[in-house]
Amino acid sequence: MICMNSVLVVGAGPSGLTVAAECRKNGWKTTVIEEHAEIGKPIHCTGIISVDGVKETGLDVESITLNKVVGARIFSPQNEEMTVKRNEPVAYIVERDKLDKLLAQKAIQAGVEIRTETSLLDIRKETVFVQKKGRGEMLKANVIVGADGPFSKTRGIMGVSLPKEKFVHAYQFRVKGHFEKNLVQVHLGSYAKNYFAWVAPENEEMARVGLAVSDGNVRKSFEEFEKKLGFEGEKCDMCSALIPCGEPFREIVKDNIMLVGDAAFQTKATTGGGIITGMMAGKACAKTIDSYFRDKKPLSDYWKNVSGLNKELVLHWKIRKYLNSLSEEKTNDLVSKMKKAEMEEFLSKYGHMDKPSKFIGKIYKSPGILRMLPEAVKFFMS
């Protein structure tokens, strides 16, 4: 196939590799640049992805799955527990580096060129200035996609600057101990200000334990959480990274540059999960590029093409804002009321990790929930 047009993707994470594979499959010459030497490393992730999301993206994750979980135990600051679970797995815990490698392999098979140890310096129209091992180079592309994660240099080049309040700081270790294999734990408390702490089991003896905070010293917060849980096991593989936390923003296209994934805040503000949402957005981005090359449709159609995902991301943000508006006392109260309103059963039946619209509508039809949680319901209706 003759490739008249070309795409350059900055960043070989799940979002960028999805855009790249799709663009190449559509017939466009596609190159990915990645600043690190090895795809998938370093790892800044817990690796939890929903079974539904995996189905929707068409991934086959069996070979990279460490564990499958059926739900979560959610603990209030006062340690009241709420359990949401199904009879079958709802999420996979995967080896995140292997996921990126799998996506890279698929992209390469489709004909994408991936250049590692190559970092973006600047973009001037269709010229991309990059650096490889200290040496400058110029690449050419008609469309440039910034899939370069939360810090996104591409976003900066587009002139979009975001304050640090738009991110939370995450800190995680792999910890040895004794863990319940089929449930994730979510802990709400002041040590995880405006976010939460988690325990995600790889198996009975090893878990990914972490938290994220909106401000303050994340290491100290983690130590506090560790003390609360009484972990004494050996720790390894520390990671410390930012997670975008806010609404998806509109400035995701400027001239011939587009943003996708964490770079575009296409991340769930409830949990920080961005693998599936980034891949979904990646497909919408590639579809937009295809219509641009093929039918001369504007790249600004991307906003329209990603509107289904954005609807869900806005709901995630509403839930996050509501939770962050509560004091510790009110959070305790909320968990108690949710239990009384039989939200455990409700969420076990209708809950969806990626699409809150699947269950929020049903809340309005549940008299018990409306009676017990009028404030929360009012918040979502606002």
Ligand X SMILES: Cc1cc2nc3c(=O)[nH]c(=O)nc-3n(C[C@H](O)[C@H](O)[C@H](O)COP(=O)(O)OP(=O)(O)OC[C@H]3O[C@@H](n4cnc5c(N)ncnc54)[C@H](O)[C@@H]3O)c2cc1C
User: Where does this chain bind ligand X (CB under 6 A)?
Assistant: 10-16, 33-36, 44-49, 119-120, 147-149, 153, 170, 172, 210, 239, 241, 243, 261-262, 267, 272-276, 278
To ligand X, the closest distance from the beta carbon of 276 in angstroms equals 6
Nearer to ligand X, 186 or 373 (CB): 186
Nearer to ligand X, 33 or 363 (CB): 33
Beta strands in 159-196 (DSSP E): 167-176, 183-187
CB atoms closer than 10 angstroms to residue 124 = 9
To ligand X, the closest distance from the beta carbon of 208 in angstroms equals 8
| Cα(151)–Cα(160) distance, integer angstroms | 11
| Cα(210)–Cα(371) distance, integer angstroms | 35
Angle subtended by helix axes 343-350 and 328-340, to nearest 10: 80
Nearer to ligand X, 26 or 46 (CB): 46
Nearer to ligand X, 4 or 238 (CB): 238
Nearer to ligand X, 160 or 363 (CB): 160
| Cα(103)–Cα(34) distance, integer angstroms | 14
To ligand X, the closest distance from the beta carbon of 347 in angstroms equals 19
Nearer to ligand X, 269 or 341 (CB): 269
The strands making up 135-140's β-sheet, listed across from edge to edge, are: 118-124, 127-132, 135-140
Task: Convert 323-355 to b/e letters by CB count within 10 Å (16 or more is b).
Answer: beeeeeeebbbbbebbbebebbebbbeebbbbb
CB neighbours of 330 closer than 8 A, spacing ≥ 6? none
To ligand X, the closest distance from the beta carbon of 79 in angstroms equals 23
Here the tokens at position 59 are 């991934």
To ligand X, the closest distance from the beta carbon of 325 in angstroms equals 24
To ligand X, the closest distance from the beta carbon of 333 in angstroms equals 28
